[in-house]
Amino acid sequence: MAEEGASGAVHLICLDASSGVPLFCRSSRGGAPSRQQLPFSVIGSLNGVHMFGQNLDVTLRSARTEDTAVVWKIFHDSVTLIVLSSEPGCSELRLERLLELVFGAMVLLVGLEELTRIRNVERLKKELRATYGLIDSLLGDAELAGDLTQCVDCIAPGDGPLLQVPHRLLTLMLLPGLELCVLCGPQPPLSQLEPQVLERWWQPVLEPLRACLALASRAIPAGFSLHPDILGLLLLHLEQKRAFFTVDLGGEEGPSPRTRRRLLRSFYALVTATHFPPEAVSSEEKAEEQGCPTGVPRACYVVSGAAAKGPEGREDPGAGLRLVAIQAGPRRLLLLVSPQSPTHALRGLATRTLHALTPFL
């Protein structure tokens, strides 16, 4: 788990899978776009070792050195994407999903046919420039977890049922910072839309919407009580593909919000890859249907290190942090807990918290 202040670089390489010709390279450092580029010899070596494996019927998916993780992925036998990351705690799962998002961004802005039937490499290079802004945003630090979990990040307002809506895609501003996107048919005309939609349907719920804006970073109602040792949480409903992710739970002690987000995201990647893979959840459900016991894990925890003193003799707030995960049916809860919480109480704390949050998700 990375300490606050630690940063690394991410390099993304896109190549024509058949010829190995680079289509573009993008980089970021410390979550911000960077002009640093990999030498062509390094790009050639990374592509060459992957192609060498293919010639031997071996698929090279990932590799790791002392400080860098590398992931390769070919899309539609046409485009090869390679990502290298020296960010602390970066996992192969996160990099694989990053490559899927990058290819999705390319399809969105260029089109699948252009990427799967490459006729003119130089023309494709020019067209791909339109994707740079979106791809750079994917390489940066994420404030939520939807890119990693592939679930929609949600909030739980008290007046949620009042806010459930859909027909032509129109955007109307409800409040500063909050816009309404409407899918509608050919009627009503635009001149009538504002009085019919805004005044009739949305005016009565403007106050609940203001409360939703205040919930944007916290996700759960402000009056909802959580144990004071909980510094952040990630709750997923795996069937509904929805999630709550927040590190804004009050209190200034402990690591910064950025560190909390990074720790929870790294922990999610760890438990998803090792303890709670999708096939394990399926086998658990099958065993329960047959009335058989199952060896699928239901909980796990990690302690980030023993409490340590900083240079001025003060206790390091990032040391000794607890991370606990618990699985119950379709719900999975991950908690970031302060060092003062005893490890023997983590499972009970996670179980009670999951039970309390269940009505929201």
In this predicted structure, what is the pLDDT of residue 313?
A: 52
Could you tell me the two tokens for 16?
Answer: 């024509």
- For the chain, the structural domain boundaries read 9-141, 160-214, 230-360
> What element of type H or E holds 95?
helix 92-110
Report the 10 Å Cβ neighbour count for 41: 8
Place of tokens 């739980």: 156
Domain spanning 230-360, CATH class: alpha beta
User: For 331, phi and psi rounded to 5 degrees?
Assistant: -100, 140
pTM of the model: 0.71
Helix runs in 194-290, H state only? 206-214, 257-274, 278-289
C-beta separation of 270 from 88 below 8 A: no
**Cα(238)–Cα(4) distance, integer angstroms:** 30
In this predicted structure, what is the pLDDT of residue 286?
A: 55
Q: Say which CATH topology domain 9-141 has.
A: Beta-Lactamase (3.30.450)
pLDDT tens for the chain, residues 1 to 361: 333 344 689 999 999 998 889 999 999 988 788 888 888 889 999 989 988 888 888 888 999 988 899 999 999 999 999 999 998 888 899 999 999 999 999 999 999 999 999 889 999 999 999 999 999 999 988 888 888 988 888 888 877 776 667 467 788 888 887 888 877 777 777 777 777 777 778 888 888 888 788 777 778 877 788 899 999 999 999 998 899 999 988 666 788 899 999 999 999 999 998 888 765 555 555 555 555 555 677 899 999 865 444 455 554 545 689 999 999 989 999 999 999 889 899 999 999 999 999 998 8
Closest CA relative to residue 351, chosen from 326, 332, 330: 326
CATH topology match: 9-141 vs 230-360: yes
C-beta separation of 23 from 106 below 8 A: no
In this predicted structure, what is the pLDDT of residue 2?
A: 39
In this predicted structure, what is the pLDDT of residue 1?
A: 37
Place of tokens 């109307």: 172
In this predicted structure, what is the pLDDT of residue 308?
A: 45
Of the chain, the end-to-end C-alpha distance in Å amounts to: 28
Cα angle 32, 243, 298; round to 5: 110
What angle, rounded to 10 degrees, do the helices at 132-139 and 92-110 form? 160
In this predicted structure, what is the pLDDT of residue 5?
A: 41
Closest CA relative to residue 335, chosen from 360, 319, 352: 352
